[in-house]
């Protein structure tokens, strides 16, 4: 059993003895990292189907003579272990591998033209969230640290994760499944680090914050059952459309009137509403689907309960039926405060003036499942080209999302420094 890592303070984490070597050798990998990223971008794969990507990653780690390379974790995940030349603890680094069902609109020579099936429909596939960058960056870190292994005091676990964007309906996957299948065991790391490229920051900038950083992400479905009738005689039936409209408006009061938003923000959004087939027929039923975002687990549970009771009460008042399903997906992404404070000197050294403290992000990340097991730190890497206002740049998940590849080398150096600084700060047995 691994000895638990001792708490770190900012004073204990200083530039590792590897810092100068990392800075000196990382630039030689930039061309390879960009080439990997372009290849992956041109050949994206959806969650739980990252067969080609996983094969490239596994082959790369084996070619670097990793001590262990495990494949097929959570369907297509890859876990590699690099043992250093000196004894010490274990640290983990993670990259997600999946693309999105988005048709790319960029006119790039390596743009994606892949098409596949998703939810019974033919769709385009694109790395519209930048996971191609994450994989290429972590492959670069693997090359860098494999060449410096004799100087490493401990081991580095490399986790290449599938299905961060959710597995296909009816399947399990992602970080939760990787944890269940032992990705963090044998050996167990004392800390885990990850990053995400973002259009919201200029290229090369690094964003960080401590504590709750990205929101939980939960799904709800509400079906309102009425009684069909002629639109000219609504009193002869029960109108599920009017009832649903009242529910939609009522849901907006949950955050604005029941949650202490001075403590943490929250969002309840209805994104789908479907009902009826003709303008003069009141239908039998209406379906609504939406998302709930929170930064506090207590607020999360309370909002879930209120969505259910409010929808049911409004429906009952209109003599309509109502079925509510609320499904938990991703927990709050919480950067461990002690780990974040301890690693701040590393962030400052790598980022310099490009380091910035960011606001909470209402997007979600299943990196949170890893953070529930071991202390974790998740940061952001800007990839919007200079001269373009990040506020107006096409965002992640857009078919026009575009990456300035000058930021990739920053990501390689950042993850390498975080891993090695953390390892050298641990007390030696």
DSSP string, 390-414: TTTSPPTTSTT----GGGHHHHHHH
**Residue 68 known to be catalytic:** no
Look at residue 118 in the predicted model and tell me its pLDDT. 85
**What are the tens digits of pLDDT across the range 232-242?**
999 999 999 99
**Residue 330 known to be catalytic:** yes
Distance CA 330, CA 295 (A): 11
DSSP 50: -
Q: How, if at all, do strands 376-384 and 206-208 pair? A: antiparallel
Q: What domains, with CATH codes, occur in the chain?
A: 19-214+333-425 (3.40.630.10), 217-330 (3.30.70.360)
Among 148, 134, 48, 54, residue whose Cα is nearest residue 96: 134
Q: Judge whether residue 11 has pLDDT over 50.
A: no
Look at residue 429 in the predicted model and tell me its pLDDT. 59
Tokens of 108: 């790039």
Q: Which of the following is catalytic: 30, 68, 356, 405?
A: 405
User: Rounded mean pLDDT of 418-422?
Assistant: 97
Distance CA 257, CA 307 (A): 13
Query: Quick one: what percent of the chain has pLDDT higher than 70?
Result: 96
In this structure, what is the dihedral angle of CA atoms 261, 263, 267, 268, given to the nearest 10 degrees? -70
Query: Quick one: what percent of the chain has pLDDT higher than 90?
Result: 94
Q: Tell me, yes or no, if the pTM score tops 0.85.
A: yes
Q: Judge whether residue 208 has pLDDT over 60.
A: yes
Look at residue 256 in the predicted model and tell me its pLDDT. 97
Q: Which residue has the tokens 């003709």?
A: 278
Q: Judge whether residue 321 has pLDDT over 70.
A: yes
Q: Which residue has the tokens 């459309």?
A: 241
Distance CA 186, CA 79 (A): 11
SS3 label, residue 12: coil
Q: Residue 279: CB partners within 8 Å, gap ≥ 6? A: 231
Distance CA 165, CA 246 (A): 32
pLDDT band at 227 (very low <50, low <70, confident <90, very high): very high
Q: Which of the following is catalytic: 104, 223, 330, 365?
A: 330
Concatenating the DSSP letter of every residue in 285-304 gives EEEEEEEEEES-HHHHHHHH
Average pLDDT, the chain: 95
**What are the tens digits of pLDDT across the range 149-192?**
999 999 999 999 999 999 999 999 999 999 999 999 999 999 99
DSSP 126: B
Look at residue 9 in the predicted model and tell me its pLDDT. 56
Tokens of 414: 């950042």
């Amino acid at each position: 059993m691994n000895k638990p890592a001792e708490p770190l303070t900012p004073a204990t984490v200083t530039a590792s003895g590897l810092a100068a070597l990392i800075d000196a050798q990382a630039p030689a990998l930039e061309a390879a990292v960009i080439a990997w990223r372009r290849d992956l971008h041109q050949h994206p794969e959806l969650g739980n189907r990252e067969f080609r990507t996983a094969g490239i990653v596994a082959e790369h780690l084996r070619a670097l003579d990793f001590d262990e390379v495990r494949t097929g974790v959570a369907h297509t995940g890859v876990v590699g272990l690099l043992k250093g030349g000196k004894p010490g603890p274990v640290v983990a680094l993670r990259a997600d591998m999946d693309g999105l069902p988005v048709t790319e609109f960029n006119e790039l020579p390596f743009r994606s033209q892949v098409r596949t099936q998703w939810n019974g429909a033919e769709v385009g596939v694109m790395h519209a969230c930048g996971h191609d960058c994450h994989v290429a960056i972590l492959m670069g870190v693997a090359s860098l640290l494999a060449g410096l292994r004799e100087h490493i005091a401990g081991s580095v676990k490399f986790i290449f994760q599938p299905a961060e964007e959710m597995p296909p309906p009816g399947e399990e996957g992602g970080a939760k499944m990787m944890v269940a299948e032992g990705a963090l065991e044998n050996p167990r790391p004392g800390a885990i680090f990850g990053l995400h490229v973002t259009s919201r920051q200029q290229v090369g900038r690094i964003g960080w914050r401590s504590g709750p950083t990205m929101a939980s992400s939960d799904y709800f479905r509400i079906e309102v059952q009425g009684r069909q009738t002629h639109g000219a005689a609504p009193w002869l039936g029960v109108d599920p459309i009017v009832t649903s409209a009242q529910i939609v408006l009522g849901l907006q009061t949950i955050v604005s009137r029941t949650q202490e938003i001075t403590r943490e923000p929250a969002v309840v959004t209805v994104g789908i509403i479907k009902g009826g087939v003709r303008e003069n027929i009141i239908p039998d039923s209406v379906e609504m689907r939406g998302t709930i975002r929170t930064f506090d687990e207590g607020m999360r549970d309370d909002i879930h309960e209120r969505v259910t009771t409010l929808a049911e009460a409004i429906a009952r008042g209109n003599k309509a039926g109502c079925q509510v399903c609320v499904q938990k997906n991703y927990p709050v992404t919480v950067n461990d405060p002690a780990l974040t404070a301890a690693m701040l000197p590393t962030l400052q050294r790598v980022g310099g003036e490009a380091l910035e403290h960011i606001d909470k992000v209402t997007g979600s990340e299943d990196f949170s499942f890893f953070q529930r097991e071991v202390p974790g730190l998740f940061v952001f890497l800007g990839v919007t080209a200079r001269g373009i206002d990040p506020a107006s740049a096409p965002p992640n998940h857009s078919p026009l999302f575009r990456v300035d590849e000058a930021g990739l080398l920053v990501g390689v150096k950042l993850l390498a420094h975080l891993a090695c600084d953390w390892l050298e700060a641990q007390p030696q047995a």
